[in-house]
Structure 1
Amino acid sequence: MFMRLQTARLSTMADFRTFNVLILGIGFMLLFTAFTTCGNIEQTVIKSLANTTFEGSGYNSLGIIYGVFSISNLLAPSVVAIIGPRFTMMLSGLLYSGYIAVFILPATWSFYLTSFLIGLAAAMLWTAQGNFLVLNSDATTINKNTGMFWVLLQCSMLFGNLYIYLDWNGKATITDGDRKMVFVVLLILSVLGTLSFIILRKNQDDEEALNEGEADSLLSAHMIFKQRAVSAVRDASTEFRTMMNMFCTKTILLLSFGMAYSGLELTFYSGVYGTCLGATAQFGPSAKGLIGLSGILVGVGEIVGGGLFGLLCKNNRFRRTSVVFLGMVVHFIAFYLIFLIIPEDAPIVFETDTQHEPYLMPSVPIALMCSFLLGLGDSCFNTQLYSILGCLYAEQSSPAFAIFKFIQSICAAVAFFYSGYLLLPWQLLIMVILGFTGTLCFFLVEKMQDISVDLHEY
């Protein structure tokens, strides 16, 4: 009888944990369907604003977001420890919704204020997500749960961009009515994603611990809050020192080039390339609709690459270096084609369309193929950076991944700031140089790891 009860309890726990991961993925899918689509189109929308008093820049906004995000990663673990992951995600979701709502009635001050706030929210949201995912997983389910969450998250690249393609295709300019309709829909999706976090279930162990202390609940709650606050400060201090020590290691210094490159190309595929397509006069009336279609194909590339290479590397059919090298080649092919078919002033022109002529006549199929290649190459780099950090720093994963996010978001912020001023060829050249350097350094780290293993076995 005891064994049956224990088995039933374990089965119930597994079911509620799977439910939590599923709802977590759906919530992030809805929230980032709104935010990813917003980031993809906001510079194009800002160019189309009839309100001449608005002086904001989508590139500057995204630069502020990623800059604040990078610094806030140092404080986010303390916030999550004190108020818990569920409440942290709900609070962060509300800030995301506020940023999207600004585009319905744009004002420069609210645009930049919410850019700052969403940078704080992003750090809290992703820290809470990682914490909640770990709480609802164990050694046997972490890969399945991570895969489930990844697929649902990457679906956010599909739906919002599909709506943009269907609604904007054939439109030469974006009217106030078009803008308001799109951002009302995105706001609704963002709010629904935030509300979904309410139905996440608490960890059963936590519930049992609270039930045992019902007689003195007020005192217990006060003591728990105090203990969490003290523990959070201590843990944050410890992890900060660990991060500083890891920054100076040879391995992290070498991997930092690949992390930095992931930030630059994140900027390019999530904000710059869509803007370039929408500003290319040679695409004619379909130019604005291509922004959404491009985002869809970036998402498809991410999903295909993440699933394919995650499976291959898990079965040791491919080395990490092979996947990273493939990612570099895929990206370089995309960069070269973009260099040929997209006008050099496409990222920075403030009129409706570009004025310069590209080297080759722009082709919609080639432009969309480049979108797919950008997503595929991004998945190559990111999955292998996660893999090697998880392998090398299994006991220090939190500070290692915090360093990754810190470097990635700092470089993304820098790239967003210069994207509004540098011509397209210079932006591509910077990514080519850093991409080659990052790949070479990744190879060196893997070689160091192989030598270390051989010496250990000897």
Structure 2
Amino acid sequence: MNTAFDAEAFILESVIHSVHEREPDRIDEYAGYYGQSVIYGSFMITCLFTPSLLNIWTPKLLLVISSFCFAAFPFGFLFINSYYHYFSTVVLGIGKAFFNLGCTTYLTSHSTRKSIESNVSLQWAIGCGSLIVGSMILATMTWFSGDVPEGVVGNVTEIVVKSDTRTFNDLEIRLLSLVLIVVSILAIIVVFLLPSEDVENCIESSKKNGSFKKDLRLTFSTSISPKMLQIVPLCMLCGFNASCFMSIIPTSMHFNKANSNMLYIPAIYSLAAGTGEVLMGLIIAEASKRIQGFGLKPTMIIGTIALFVYSMLIQASTPIEAPMKPTSEKALFFEQSYPLIFVIALIAGVSDCCFNGVRSVICALVMPSRRAQSFSVSRMYQAAACVIMFFFSPVIPLYVYTVGLPILPVLSTFVFCKVVDSTRRMERKMTTETIVEQENTEKV
């Protein structure tokens, strides 16, 4: 599921823009940005209801339903138009909400307190391996379509460079659609084969005994609870950072006319981002086994440093107008190249892995009696940040991202450290009370 979603996120606005240039009446030029805003808007609203669904459906069933929702999106690339595009983005947003809650609750039912930090990071690393698979798909698609003889292409708009910017022809778009449809079908099969039984001493059982209405009220109260509000800056940071590095940055690279002949930007960027995500996930998973609490404060600090570094590289190498429209404006200090693009995406992947890892861990720990609700509400706030970012992307210049975004992790880190300390005090208190209760029981 992530392979199809991530591969499309990197190039969606560029693909839509290319189609609009050929057929202006077919779809709006910024439908890629607006479509992603709709995805996260649908996702945000659905997050209010998904915890209540756990009383009716199991986490595995949520994953099964979400796999079908994800599969609906690539079909739109076969016949791009506004109606199906926005319909499929709404469906995808619902599926993404089901997937995220289903995945996190499935993970807690297959993790103990000792294994949760490493399991979250390991799961994130494996999931982000989809970026590497997606890079192979994008590279193969670009190589194949770029080498197709003109007679085979027929009436399709001829290849790759138009108005001095990187564009996508109809053949590339259809190839991408067909490959991602196949990948989505494989995802459905994999989800059906997942084991259902919880592990022994799991953090939280997948079997619920509550009611839909009661849990719905609980979700609303969780969304404004003091403990949850303390991690809202972190959730918003995850959303702003993800939308920026997954879509806005690669789009600005395509809209930079100096990069018009660099056809493999999507493949290189996806490969590097996936490598950064996977490597950092594996490092956190291994370090968490050896160093207590590594998946919390140290990981948050690493993510903050990584965000600062890649923001500076983007600011130095990208024209100011590139996120908004194709531009021939010069970069501030130096032009982009494949090695630089690889480094930027690698570091961005590291930051994304760190922020999402600590968010998942703290949500599993900060409200033990409301884990499903805290997971879902955290994603809701994250989605709200994505909606804001994508909705205003057509009019936001580069420096707003590269200067404004690094300010947020400073605030988030300060608040996050306070939450971690209070959570540890709560855990120590609960452990002490459990020991005392056991001792009293033994005496009796």
Q: CA deviation at 1:111?
A: 0.5
- Deviations 1:261-282 (Å, cap 9, x if unpaired)? 1110010111111111222222
Query: What amino acid maps onto 1:195 in structure 2?
Result: I
Query: What stretches of structure 2 of length at least 5 have no aligned partner?
Result: 147-159, 162-166, 200-206, 433-444
Query: What amino acid maps onto 2:286 in structure 1?
Result: L
Query: What amino acid maps onto 1:330 in structure 2?
Result: A
The match for 1:428 among 377, 402, 415 is 402
Query: What amino acid maps onto 1:199 in structure 2?
Result: L
Q: Does 1:61 align with 2:51?
A: no
Partner residue, 1:270: 246
Partner residue, 2:127: 153
Could you tell me how far apart the structure 1 residues matched to 2:104 and 2:383 are? Answer: 17
Indicate how the Cα distance of structure 1 residues 435 and 200 shifts in structure 2: closer, same or farther if over 3 A, else same: closer
TM-score (norm 2): 0.81
Could you tell me how far apart the structure 2 residues matched to 1:455 and 1:198 are? Answer: 41
Cα pair 1:278 1:289 within 8 Å, conserved:
no
The match for 1:279 among 255, 268, 279 is 255
Indicate how the Cα distance of structure 1 residues 232 and 99 shifts in structure 2: closer, same or farther if over 3 A, else same: farther
Could you tell me how far apart the structure 2 residues matched to 1:373 and 1:134 are? Answer: 28
Could you tell me how far apart the structure 2 residues matched to 1:248 and 1:139 are? Answer: 24
Give the alignment of 1:25-424 within 5 angstroms: 31-49=1-19, 50-56=22-28, 57-135=31-109, 146=120, 149-168=123-142, 171-172=160-161, 173-200=167-194, 203=197, 231-237=210-216, 239-240=218-219, 242-244=221-223, 247-249=224-226, 251-286=227-262, 288-316=263-291, 319=294, 320-349=296-325, 353-364=326-337, 365-424=339-398
Query: What stretches of structure 1 of length at least 5 have no aligned partner?
Result: 1-30, 206-226
Indicate how the Cα distance of structure 1 residues 128 and 356 shifts in structure 2: closer, same or farther if over 3 A, else same: same
Percent identity among equivalent residues?
18
Q: CA deviation at 1:312?
A: 2.0
Give the CA RMSD over aligned residues: 3.0
Partner residue, 1:213: none
Indicate how the Cα distance of structure 1 residues 340 and 390 shifts in structure 2: closer, same or farther if over 3 A, else same: same
Q: CA deviation at 1:144?
A: 7.2
Could you tell me how far apart the structure 1 residues matched to 2:397 and 2:118 are? Answer: 43
Could you tell me how far apart the structure 1 residues matched to 2:191 and 2:221 are? Answer: 32
Partner residue, 1:17: none
Query: What amino acid maps onto 1:237 in structure 2?
Result: L
- Deviations 1:416-442 (Å, cap 9, x if unpaired)? 111221011112222122222212222
Could you tell me how far apart the structure 1 residues matched to 2:277 and 2:271 are? Answer: 10
Question: Which secondary structure does the structure 1 equivalent of 2:309 belong to?
Answer: helix
Could you tell me how far apart the structure 2 residues matched to 1:174 and 1:332 are? Answer: 32
Q: CA deviation at 1:126?
A: 2.4
Could you tell me how far apart the structure 2 residues matched to 1:272 and 1:86 are? Answer: 32
- Deviations 1:149-196 (Å, cap 9, x if unpaired)? 433311111111222134326743321111111111111111221133
Could you tell me how far apart the structure 2 residues matched to 1:196 and 1:317 are? Answer: 33
TM-score (norm 1): 0.78
Q: CA deviation at 1:127?
A: 2.3
Cα pair 1:166 1:289 within 8 Å, conserved:
no
Query: What amino acid maps onto 1:191 in structure 2?
Result: I
Q: CA deviation at 1:59?
A: 0.9
Cα pair 2:37 2:391 within 8 Å, conserved:
yes
